[in-house]
Each structure stands twice: as structure tokens, then as C-alpha cells.
Amino acid sequence: MKETVIVLDFGGQYNQLIARRVRECNVYCEILPYTVKPEKIREIAPKGIIFTGGPNSVYDPASPHYPPEIFELGIPILGICYGCQLMAYSLGGNVISATDNSVSEYGKAETDYNNDCVIFKSLPGHGVSWMSHRDYIDRVPDGFRVTATTANCPVAAMANDEKKLYGVQFHPEVNHTEGGREMLRSFLFDVCGCKGEWKMDSFIEDTVAQIKAQVGDRGVVLGLSGGVDSSVAAALLSRAVGRQLTCVFVDQGLMRKNEGDFVENTFTKLFDMNFVRINCQEEFLSKLKGVCDPEEKRNIIGTEFYNVFWNKIRDSYGSGFFAQGTIYPDRIESGKGDAAKIKTHHNQVGVPKDIKFEGIIEPLKDLFKDEVRAVGEKLGLPRELVWRQPFPGPGLGVRVIGEITAERVKTLQEADAILRDEMEKCGYAKELSQFFVVLPGVKTVGVMGDARTYDELVAIRAVTTDDFMTADWAKIPYDILGRLSNRIINECEHVNRVVYDITSKPPGTVEWE
């Protein structure tokens, strides 16, 4: 990349959000662990570096640190929260514990800014910032000046303009900080001299060229789940190699109503590729018969999917290249300050040892989810696929609580289809981050047609969130909920009661299992 910014991860919970905010400014950035050597940074030659926050205290010898020589590389640096304290501590300032509760700050804080500082030049002199710290800087290093304060924080920001070193105690990357994005833009463009040339159009053009050069006249096999990531990867590969691409789609019968047909129609009509659909609903249901434990169900579904997929590949397509829809968050370990560790993820599939591909192609491996969606739209994928809500790897298998049967799956599919139909009709779908139906495995007494019933209870779950780390239950109007209940009970067999889940995350999770 012609211009790159490094986000150096010290274990902050918002490290990915910082990177996303930078990329929203059309500046490419990568998250690297704090253990990366200075030589590697020199090799990358970034336009700027951002230190993330973190849960540690900089004066603790066991906490993450970085060699002080980074401040002598001549590269602009912005320290955020722990990163700000680390900058101060490393350069001779003083950081102490906020033993007095009036000094530690969590949440929104009224903040005064010095507009002579380039970071705050476009902001009012006063605003709200988002604080989360139990330590604070009580003396800045030589050559620095204080550029922001709060009632409880004597150094809410500091700057050494000559060396282009800046620190903020608060989090400009979160929405709660007023003008936070403008602060980041000022650092990127006014301090680092970035031009903002990284755009999705150039990404598609460059990636297609790279794939063509790598593949040549050989074949590519992609496991297509119908989710956003694998679908965008399929569209990108199709543009690059056309009929050399084979997409294998395993329909295990645990998708939403008509979703398998939708996926097949999309990729057979819109794209030039070989599309292989494996219908194995009965096979999966037989493996799941009598199983109620959620972890056992997950294991069975995952294992059976793996076996069905690779048996098909082994028989017909075990050559050329293997492709998968890995995206950037799949490759980095969040919150531990060590991006070298790769967490297990459904988008990163282990290839059996007896199948010998020439290499792995991961065209989306450097993109965040919102960037993947942008690529999908530019490639002409249908909006309902590009903006498909998160869907668990085991599918409806974790939304049917208890034993999974064909009848219960059908009931859930019908109820879920009604929920989606009503949300689209009333225009409320765009207000929600995720919504779905759960079959809890509870039967209740009801009265229908003057007769006693004893049938299934259906639960509706809908949440709003910015990042899915936390989520609030959605305040859907009563009249919409009333229509939903009426339709589900009247149109779905074996359902006589509907309830609405009003649990936020935490303490609950978004999914029930």
C-alpha cells in the first residue's frame, strides 16, 4: 500500500474499531501486536502509528511496553488511553493510580480542548469525550504540552508538535466522543499527511489482477455458505477466473425458509461459475436425532458439514486452489494485544491432509465486515444478501432448543419468515441490527376454536447494537408485535403462544444457545 497506518495493539477492546475508523477515512491500516519489532515497522514505513488502549497499568513491569526507539523513527504517533499513558511514561512523564474515585473516569466526561492543537482545530472548545481509565498522567514529558482537560483529569490530551507525538486519554474512536472522527481525520491528514486514496474500486481491481496472476489456468474451489463473506468472495473470484471457479454449497436443511433456493438462483443466474448444491437435510437430521445438548448439536453439525463438504471435494475437485471467505477480524485475536494468535473461526477451514491444493486464496482477508459489504454492492450482489444479518454457523440448529426434528425446523422457518415479512412491510427492519425467532421447546396451554391446545411457544428476539459486544433489546412498537403474534399463531401449525425477549447483552447473549 502506498500509504499505511499501523494500529499497535496493547490489548484494547476497541482496537478493531480504531482500524475501522481509519479505513472510513479511505486510509489503509493494519492491526499489529505490540510485540512486533521496530525493524518490521521500519520495513512497512507507515505514514502514522496509533497506540490502542489496554487494561494494564504502564508502571507495572509486566504490562505491555514498546522500545522507546519508536518515538525516534520520525513517524507521527497518536496514543489512545493506555497508549497515551505509555507515551508519557516512556518519555519521562509520570503516570499514577487514580486511588481517589473522583479522579478515575468511566463514561462521558465534559472536556475542554485547546484549539491551537492540530488534533482539535476543527472542534468547539468544549465537548463530551468517552473516558475509561483508572490511571492518569499527572506530569507530561519534557517537550509536551497539555491540550485537553476534564474536571477530574489534568491531562486529557497532550502534544509534542515538533516530533508529531500526540496522546488522548479518552477514546475518539467511539460514537460517544463528540467530534472523535474529526480528531482522527486531523491526525491522519494534517499530521500524517495521508491523502485518503484507499477505496473499494481500487481494491476490487487490484485483487482481481492478483487472483488471475496466481491462478493462471487452474481451478479454484470455494465453500459457499450463503453468508456475506463467502458470497462476496465467490463474486470476486467469479470476476477474476469465471468458469474456473467451483462453488460447493452444502444445504443441511437448517437455513431460513427458501434460503437455499435463493442462494442457488443468485449464483447461477448472476455469475459465471460452476455451482454445486449438496442437499443433505435428511442425513443431518438423522445424526441429530435425540440430541438436545447445545454443544453436542454444534459439534455434530460442524463435523457432519466438514465431512460432507470434503467428501465431495475429494471425489471431484481436489486440485488447483482452495478459497475461503476469511475476513480481517477472523485473523486477529481481539483484546489480548497479540495479533499473531489466530482464533478458530468457521471461515478458516482446515484442509484434510489427503487433499493437496496448490495454495489457499483468501481475497477478503484484509477487510472488515462493512468493507466486505461495500465490495459486494459494487460487484452487483443482491442487497438482501449483502446486508444479510449475522447467522450462526450451525444455522437454525441453535434456535431450535432441544431436539431438532423436521417438523420443528419447519415451524421455526415459517415463524421466522413471518417476522421478516412484517419487519420489511412496516419499514422497521432497518432500525434493527438483528432479529429472529427461537423455538424454546416449551409447550403451553391455549384455546383455539373453543378447544384446548397444548402446543409450542415461539420467542421473538430483536436487538440494536453498534458492534455486537453489547446489545440492547429493540423497542418494537406494540402494534407491530401484536400483528406478529396474530400471524404466527394463525399461520404456523403447532404454535399457540408468542413471547418477546427483552434481555439486553449483557447479561444475556444475542443467540439463546
128-144: average pLDDT: 88
What's the pLDDT score for residue 201? 80
Q: Give the chain's mean pLDDT.
A: 89
Question: Which pLDDT band, with edges at 50, 70 and 90, does 496 fall under?
Answer: very high
**pLDDT tier at 467, thresholds 50, 70, 90:** low
- The pLDDT value recorded for residue 389 is 84
| pLDDT reading at 457 higher than 50 | yes
Q: Which domains does the chain have, with CATH numbers?
A: 4-191 (3.40.50.880), 200-386 (3.40.50.620), 405-500 (3.30.300.10)
Number of neighbours of residue 450 by Cβ within 10 angstroms: 5
What per-residue confidence (pLDDT) applies to 335?
Answer: 36
DSSP assigned state of 187: I
- What is d(CA 350, CA 449) in angstroms, rounded to the nearest whole number? 54
| Residues acting as catalytic residues | 81, 171, 173
Band of pLDDT at residue 171, cut at 50, 70 and 90: very high
pLDDT surpasses 90 at 143: yes
Q: In the prediction, which pLDDT does 443 show? A: 92
| pLDDT score recorded for residue 451 | 83
Question: How do 359-361 and 321-323 pair as beta strands?
Answer: parallel
Mean pLDDT, to the nearest integer, of 125-140?
87
pLDDT tens-digit map of 233-276: 999 999 999 999 999 999 999 999 999 999 999 999 988 899 99
Q: At which residue does the C-alpha cell 518515538 appear?
A: 71
pLDDT (0 to 100) of residue 334: 40
Nearest to 266 by CA among 255, 277, 256: 277
C-alpha 29: how far from chain center: 16
- Dump the DSSP string for 116-185: TSGGGTTS-SEEEEEEEESEEEEEPPTT-EEEEEESS-S-SEEEETTTTEEEESS-TTSTTSTTHHHHHH
The confidence score (pLDDT) of residue 338 equals 41
Instruction: Give the per-residue pLDDT at 155.
Output: 93
Tens digits of per-residue pLDDT, 302-361? Answer: 899 889 999 998 888 777 999 999 888 877 644 344 433 333 344 455 688 888 889 999
Question: Is the pLDDT reported for residue 101 higher than 60?
Answer: no
Higher pLDDT, 388 or 26: 26
Strands 165-168 and 245-251: unpaired
Q: Model confidence over 78-90: pLDDT tens digits?
A: 999 999 999 999 9
Q: Does a cis peptide bond (omega within 30 degrees of 0) precede residue 506?
A: yes
Query: How are beta strands 77-80 and 165-168 bridged, if at all?
Result: parallel
| Residue 99 binned pLDDT confidence (cut-offs 50, 70, 90) | low
Confidence of residue 116 (pLDDT cuts 50, 70, 90): very high
Higher pLDDT, 17 or 1: 17
DSSP-assigned letter for residue 439: B
Residue 341 has a pLDDT of: 36
**Contact 373/386 with Cβ under 8 angstroms?**
yes
Give percent of the chain above pLDDT 90. 65
- So what's the pLDDT on residue 351? 80
Look at residue 430 and tell me whether its pLDDT is greater than 90: no
Model confidence pLDDT, tens digit, residues 22-55:
999 999 999 999 999 999 999 999 999 999 998 8
What percentage of the chain exceeds 70 in pLDDT? 94
pLDDT in tens, 394-411: 899 999 999 999 999 999
